[in-house]
Amino acid sequence: DGGITQSPKYLFRKEGQNVTLSCEQNLNHDAMYWYRQDPGQGLRLIYYSQIVNDFQKGDIAEGYSVSREKKESFPLTVTSAQKNPTAFYLCAAFGIAAEAFFGQGTRLTVV
């Protein structure tokens, strides 16, 4: 897992509920990214942060929010505005040579 810890591994969300996925890294990398993975599709970028206290929307940011208060942490909140949240969520930190280190993922299911 390259020093990236995601929790929980499985998460269940009720309709209209916000949930937060945790991502922590001990690699001392500045850049952290969140991706969504659906069956048969490549990874799609939700949000990314290049430095503490700064983050940018990715390609599918609607219904998601993030914060980057510490270098080690980049939590993702899936809000009730995200109408199809069931997916596998992956967090990554990027080294200075552009290589990505991924966490083990969180599988979110709407119940």
Residues binding other proteins (CB under 8 A): 1-2, 4, 6, 31, 33, 40-43, 45, 48, 50, 90, 94, 98-105, 107
We find the least distance from the C-beta atom of residue 80 to other proteins, in angstroms, to be: 26
Place of tokens 């909140």: 77
Residue placing its CB nearer to other proteins in the complex, 85 or 103: 103
3-class SS of residue 59: coil
Residue placing its CB nearer to other proteins in the complex, 33 or 78: 33
Report d(CA 79, CA 15) in Å as an integer: 10
Phi, psi of 85 (to 5 degrees): -85, -10
